[in-house]
Amino acid sequence: MMLEDTYLRAIKAIIANYGHAVQYVGGDPETGARPFAYTIGLHRSGGRDYELAVSGLGPAASAGVLDLLAEALSENDTPPSAGLQVRNLLELGLDLRLRLVSHPEELGVIRLVYGAAPTVWQALWPDLANRFPGDPAYDLADELQELL
């Protein structure tokens, strides 16, 4: 039995038990690529047709943000859209802002489980003044949060 088969069975079991799984992809110090994470299985539950992603956070923070965001969108029956700001979701009352992921097909485990990738929305996190990448006066380094 191949390790990939075992891993995919574990992912499918998590999806069956919780409605979705979170795949974390560590960064690469040699290339400067930032870590990122994405959900697998949301698009098959609760009438959703999308997955969620986040970049630049550690494993626990990524899973926490994605789970909070999925729950908030579901509870409020809010479909994701470009620029949608989900208010007061993070500590200190900070928001998340959504943007469409440019190449969802590159999120490999979704493809391995389902054969194709649905629409994926990236959650951007703000600086402490609640400004996002691309906003005037955003004061975090652009490379902290890679746009997927």
Helix (H) or strand (E) holding 99: strand 96-100
Q: What is the pTM of this model?
A: 0.94
Amino acid making up residue 126: P
pLDDT at residue 3 greater than cutoff 80: no
pLDDT tens digits, 71-88: 999 998 999 999 999 999
- Domain segments of the chain as ranges: 3-144
pLDDT tens digits, 25-65: 998 889 888 999 999 999 998 789 999 999 999 999 999 99
Structure confidence at residue 49 (pLDDT):
94
Task: Extract the tokens encoding 144.
Answer: 């902290």
Amino acid making up residue 122: Q
Distance CA(36)–CA(103), nearest Å, equals 14
